Structure 1
Amino acid sequence: MCGIAGLIDAKGRRAPDANRRLALAMSDAIRHRGPDGSGVWGDAEAGVWLSHRRLAIIDLTEAGAQPMATPDGSGHLTYNGEAYNAPDLRSELEAAGYVFRGHSDTEVILYGCQHWGVAETARRLTGMFAFAYWDSKERKLWLVRDRLGKKPVYWMNQGGSFAFASELRPLLLHPEAPRDIDRSSVAEYLRTLYVAAPHSIVEGVHKLEPGGILTFEPDSGRVTAERYWSLDREVARAQADPFLGSPEEAVSEAERLLADATRIRLMSDVPLGAFLSGGVDSSTIVALMQQHSAGATRTFSIGYRDAEYDEARHAEQIAGHLGTDHTTFYLEPDDALAVVPELPRIFDEPFADASQIPTYMVSKLARQHVTVALTGDGGDEVFAGYNRHAAAGGLLGRLGRLPGPVRAAMAGTMTSLSPNQWQSLLRIVPGRVRPRAVGEKLHKLAPLLKLHGRDQYRRLISQWPDPAAIALGGRERPGPIDDDGLDALLPDRVAEMRYLDLVTYLPGDILTKVDRASMAVSLETRAPLLDHRLVEFSFRVPSSIHLRGGQTKWVLRQILERHVPRALYDRPKMGFGVPIDSWLRGPLRDWAEELLSERRLRDQGLLRPEPVRDLWRQHLSGRVNAQYQIWGVLMLNAWIDAYSAELSGAAPAPQPVAA
């Protein structure tokens, strides 16, 4: 895992030495992604410069250093990620006559691009990756991103000055970088609390989409983009070849694929462990890791003193059953609050999934012991694990058949009490343990009763349901959720929701969160549940199996039950939350009040102060729990503060840096 950056000065606007210094400064801005080494390569005549920050995982010798060149010097590669099937591809390339200097997967990708071409090499790779390949014979640069979007690539093209990097920050060092905030991105951010590809928070800076290849030809200035892999194509193939076996056979095939996906992600020349929350996803991964480990797997979890949020005891029980070497860090409010001022720099763009805090903290904990950690990311999206999937396959479907007035009356009943009042009422009702935040869930369900189809999904994923009422001058752009072709492509609402999760929420929120949090502490994370072979298989499996008996993630639960007693994991879903609601009313109140002041909001000119201030007052009073909407505005404003120098163009000019 590494950091990449580069630039092409096609019109020769700067001296070669200035371009070299800029390329080095860009890579140094992401030193956290690769503290083990750096490198730069340039072709002064072509104006092409590639740089690299190295986190050494496979082949720790100089044979794995980057940027890496083909023996004839015609191809150069700077690469971030892991190709888990590199040994198999290497055998094919050796049979074709290629001679390898080391055993890194970088060399495999480099020779693959030369031998098969860039697009075919990307299609052959199993793993997570983002890379840039320059071919001096064709005079063309390729940028490539992995299928699901685990590894990021930002790029810009300003009048023939092309640049790219693993994060936004290095691009803002470029003297010709755009600096204006994209107001449409602000509106879209308010809805989801992340900035989705292909856009960024800066107008004119873009993100390469998952499964994408971008080419830049400096002689003409031409930029083209294509997809070497897309989920819609794979879903269409899956629908043409549905899985016809029994539910039990579906479980066995999924376990076979997941076990192999886990096995190949254990390759490492440095210490390796896993995050273990005690939930179904991470517990399944750790159970499968233990099958391939000679000793006890190192596992890590975050705990809370507040029992409403704490899953550490469950993680410890599963760790004990599986025999892992487990470490728990109990997150105190002061620990978390100390991280808050650093969040804008850690996450690089406005980003407001509050679980960013424990994700960063567990990454920091794990990095004290290992350099690589496997995660359970993707289990909900791949195996239908969210409450919205269960609702789409059950309650929402049934309620949708009721007359409109009946649904409206039910919605009114659900909102007749505040979330806190619902929670208090249900605590005194005897019976099974109620899910956390059940009152908020009822309030979230109520407006869905008046909607249909993808409008329900849009409402489910919305934090500010009407961003146009808040954002000044920005308008949301069409995205995957607006694709009317989905109704014909996908057989049912559950499959459609899973598809939308995988192309929007997963790369925009989950994978962004884990990438930035882990790479901030130089930790590589790997997600077996997002192996593309498993994702493709999951769409062959009918939704009736994914939600068999009304149970979310039925297939994954059956796999886990083969390794862990059900009593250790069968409990209501908690998520990876933090008590932001109470922190905003307590220790974070003064910090938040400054960022939300009416004067500040007016001077900033991005948001209408009145609705923001009104919601903030309601939250402080306890009448509503608006923690997520408020957190979104806070993270936006804190990011603007942190990046004020870069956005004004006053960032320090790149200084000479030793190679």
Structure 2
Amino acid sequence: MTRWCASSADGDLVAVGGRDVLTAGRHAFGLLDGPGAATAPCRAAGLTAVGEVTLFNAHELRSRLGTDAPPPGCSDTELLLHSYARFGLAGLAATDGMFALAIADGPELVLVRDHTGARTAFYARSGRSWLASTSLRAIHRWPALDTGLNLSAVRSFLTFAYLPGAETLLRGVHEVLPGRCLRLRADTTTAEEVFWEPQELTDARPAAEHAHALRALLEEATARRLPSGEAAAVLLSGGVDSSLVTALATKLHDNPVRTYSISFGDELPNELGYSGLVAAHCHTEHRVLTVAGETVAARLPDTVALLDCPVGDPLTVPNRLLAEAVAGDGMSVVLNGEGGDPVFGGPKNLPMLISELHRDDPDPRARALAYLDSYRKCYADLPALLTGDVLAELGDAPHPAELVAPYLRQGRMHSLLNQLLHANLRTKGAHHILSKVERITAASGLEGRSPLFARPVIDQAFRVPPRWKLAGTTEKWVLKEAVRDLLPATVVDRPKSGMRVPVQQWLAGPLRELGNDLLLSRTTRQRGLVRPDTLRSWLRREGTLLPRHGGKLWLVLTLELWLRSFEVGG
């Protein structure tokens, strides 16, 4: 992974943390130290840029460019610049890939993020100067930047377990949204252009034809993401999404396929029976990694520190251990089954649909508030969790419901199910799932690839009538029908259960000391964000919080670890 910085100013140009610096007009580009940092910023098609670009449809882009295509063997960054220079936003929309790019386009510094958010970029302004980077730490270390803790983002994180929009935990620092082209101007104004957003289309073809079309796109997306000339790795949970990626990889790859699963011990409920069944069915080289609570406790602080924005997912450390195992086996690419739920209608959509049938609240935010409640994180506990000073300061701040309400109104999507999927894709998909995959895999020198998040697959998903995504109570029906011939029926038709992570056992055992030391410490009290009496009660497992107190404590612990890593005060 190449991490980069780009700056734009009327005065002196500075590339923060850059090892290789290239200037273009009032812009400067620098690559941060790390794997791949020897590659210089790119000049092509009259533009200068720096970025992380992986394109999966380079051949199509070359055909579209015709005689304007760059020479064979050019970098993906150069090809993307040529496509942008020739076709503008349409050239970005035509890609299938993962990218975050900063481009000097005349007097403007243009930031581009791929369709779904597989790569991330952040930006901030100080005076008349802009700084952008894939590293939030680099921006945080910018000497000219006057920043601090963003309390609104603290509330959002405790509500969602991630940050679902452009805000970060650093005041004045923002994240580029996926599918966007953001222009940072010398007069300190910005202009955002959308080059891709999923669209709900009416397609009256029979269900079988939709499944057939989807199957072709799934095969194409998987084939494009397989590594060339080496074994392929797939993270296999045993659910239908990772299982279908495994089956397609073994069908389409001309090298061995290795699968990797997690176990938290034989005494806990697990999905190893399903993942083992799929591995045997697909004839993969299968490896099960047992993760002990003691290992999670030891690796949690440095794993949280890898993330530009915290993710309150207890699978983060196990995911990192899996990535290290894959890298240790000598592979550079790892596929996953992420994307099936937010794109095709996984858990939580059915309860929201039932809630809508019985809703009589005229409040236009009622649907968004129900969406927040469905997360079952700390939203309902905020009055008892946050201190009075924080609650008072947040009194006039936008409500967290406003982060999802635009997706849940009639507009681009008319079907409520598609509205929910749109919200899931643009919030959890971009700001939790894909950002976690990118940072965790890159830390081990891997590139994580998600075929179900491919832009053509998503476009097809929103062509499928809602009744064939959620068929009665059967979730992801059309996706299952598209791959039914590839997998055992017991895998295709199994109910969704998800990975059972023993959070409460960890917090009561190997993480008990870390949790108590951090959450009840003087530093945490002096920060003034959360009430010590509430944390003390939760740590003692008192009151009516059970049985979900473990997940809520995990959020607060993750937040505190992140704040300490970034040395952010209250």
TM-score (structure 1 length as normaliser): 0.78
Number of the residue aligned with 1:585: 508
> 1:374 is matched by which residue type in structure 2?
L
CA distance in 2, matches of 1:193, 1:546: 26
Note closer, same or farther for the CA distance 1:344–1:247 as it changes in structure 2 (3 Å cut). same
Deviation at 1:97, TM superposition (A): 4.0
Task: Indicate how the Cα distance of structure 1 residues 584 and 554 shifts in structure 2: closer, same or farther if over 3 A, else same.
Answer: same
607, 612, 627: which one aligns with 2:535: 612
C-alpha distance after superposition, 1:468-499 (max 9, x if no partner): 55331334446342238713554443222212
Equivalent-residue separation in structure 2 for 1:494 and 1:55 (angstroms): 41
What is the rounded CA distance, in whole Å, between the counterparts of 2:83 and 2:267 in structure 1?
A: 51
Match in the other structure for 1:79: 51
Does structure 2 retain, via aligned residues, the 8 Å contact 1:178–1:202?
no
Corresponding residue for residue 68 of structure 1: 42
Query: Cα distance 1:621–1:591, how it changes in 2: closer, same or farther (>3 A)?
Result: farther
Return the match for 2:82 from 111, 127, 130: 111
Q: How do 1:129-144 and structure 2 match up within 5 A?
A: 129-135=99-105, 138-144=106-112
Contact 1:275–1:301 (CA under 8 A) maintained in structure 2: yes
Alignment counterpart, residue 210 of structure 1, candidates 168, 173, 178? 178
1:279-358 alignment runs, 5 A limit: 279-358=239-318
Give the distance between the partners of 1:133 and 1:101, measured in 2 at CA: 22
Q: Summarize the Cα distance change of 1:53–1:263 in structure 2 as closer, same or farther, 3 Å threshold.
A: farther
Question: Cα distance 1:541–1:181, how it changes in 2: closer, same or farther (>3 A)?
Answer: same
- Correspondence for 2:161 among 161, 176, 193: 193
CA shift in 2, pair 1:614/1:292, >3 Å: same
The question of 1:455 aligning with 2:378 is answered no
Pair 1:268–1:295, CA change in 2 (3 A): closer
- Cα pair 2:4 2:29 within 8 Å, conserved: no
Paired residue secondary structure (1:178): coil
Cα distance between partner residues in 1 of 2:431 and 2:18:
28
Aligned to 2:22: 41
Matched position secondary structure for 1:82: strand
Distance in 2 (CA, whole Å) between partners of 1:178 and 1:121 is 36
State the one-letter code of the partner of 2:101.
Answer: F
Q: What residue identity is the alignment partner of 1:77?
A: A
State TM-score, norm by structure 2: 0.90
Change (3 A) 1:619 1:362: farther
Which residue among 465, 479, 486 is the counterpart of 1:556? 479
Letter in 2 for 1:7: S
Contact 1:358 1:578 in 2 (8 A): no
Q: CA deviation at 1:375?
A: 1.0
- The one-letter code sitting in structure 1 at the alignment partner of 2:53 is G
Task: State the AA in 1 paired with 2:47.
Answer: G
Q: Residues of 2 paired with 1:98 and 1:537: CA distance? A: 28
Aligned partner of 1:416 in structure 2 is none
Q: How does 1:599-638 map to 2 (within 5 A)?
A: 599-618=522-541, 623-638=546-561
Instruction: Select between 281-290 and 101-110 the one with higher mean Cα deviation.
Output: 101-110
- Secondary structure in structure 1 of the residue aligned to 2:475: coil
Offset of residue 611 of structure 1: 2.9
Q: Tell me what 1:120 maps to.
A: 90
Shift of 1:318: 0.7
Partner of 2:73: 102
Is 1:159 the counterpart of 2:127? The answer is yes
Q: For structure 1, which segment, 568-577 or 196-205, has the greater mean C-alpha deviation from structure 2 after superposition?
A: 568-577
Distance (whole Å) between structure 2 residues aligned to residue 49 and residue 86 of structure 1: 25
Tell me how far apart the structure 2 counterparts of residues 49 and 269 of structure 1 sit (CA, whole Å).
Answer: 33
> How far did residue 167 of structure 1 move?
2.4
| Contact 2:29–2:41 (8 Å) recurs in 1 | no
Distance change >3 Å, CA 358–CA 250, structure 1 → 2: same
Identify the residue that residue 470 of structure 1 maps to in structure 2: 385
Output one character per residue of 1:326-345: Cα deviation in whole Å (capped at 9) or x when no partner: 22212122222221121331
| Deviation for aligned residue 1:513 | 1.8
Residue 221 of structure 1: SS of its match in structure 2? coil
Counterpart CA distance in 1 for 2:5 and 2:99 is: 14
The amino acid of 1:123's aligned partner reads A
Residues 629/600 of structure 1: CA separation in 2 closer, same or farther (3 Å cut) = same
- Tell me what 1:519 maps to: 442
Contact 2:349 2:417 in 1 (8 A): yes
Quote the Cα distance in structure 2 between the aligned partners of 1:485 and 1:561: 32
Q: Are the aligned partners of 2:2 and 2:31 in contact in 1 as well (CA < 8 Å)? A: no
Residues 113 and 121, structure 1, Cα contact 8 Å, conserved in 2: yes
How big is the shift at 1:373? 1.0
Offset, 1:579: 0.8
Q: Is the 8 A contact 1:79 1:132 kept in 2?
A: yes
Matched residues, number: 556
Q: Is the 8 A contact 2:303 2:320 kept in 1?
A: no
Deviation at 1:196, TM superposition (A): 2.7
Q: Does 1:384 align with 2:345?
A: yes
Of the three residues 480, 487, 509, the one matched with 2:410 is 487
Q: Once the two structures are superposed, what CA deviation does each residue of 1:486-520 show, in whole Å capped at 9, x if it has no partner?
A: 13554443222212111212112212221221122
Q: Which moved more, 1:613-622 or 1:372-381?
A: 613-622
Paired with 1:255 and 1:368, the residues of 2 have a C-alpha distance of 33
- Partners of 1:81 and 1:377 in 2: how far apart? 20
Q: 1:619 to 1:257 in 2, by over 3 A?
A: farther
SS in 1 for 2:311: coil
1:68/1:54 Cα in 2 relative to 1: closer, same or farther (>3 Å)?
A: farther
Say if 2:244 and 2:483, in contact at 8 Å, map to a contact too: yes
Q: Distance in 1 between matches of 2:554 and 2:35?
A: 32
Give, in whole Å, the separation in 1 of the partners of 2:419 and 2:47: 41
Change (3 A) 1:217 1:23: farther
Displacement of 1:66 after TM fit?
Answer: 3.3
1:441 aligns with: none
Q: 1:459 to 1:291 in 2, by over 3 A?
A: same
Q: Distance in 1 between matches of 2:97 and 2:70?
A: 23
Matched with 1:431 is none
Q: Is the 8 A contact 2:93 2:196 kept in 1?
A: yes
Residue segments in structure 2 that go unaligned for 5+ positions in a row: none
Match of 2:312, as an amino acid?
Answer: A
Question: The residue matched to 2:379 in structure 1 has which SS?
Answer: coil
Distance 1:122 1:601, change over 3 A: same
Q: How does 1:361-440 map to 2 (within 5 A)?
A: 361-369=321-329, 370-386=331-347, 388-393=348-353, 396=355, 400=358
- Give 1:285 deviation, angstroms: 1.0
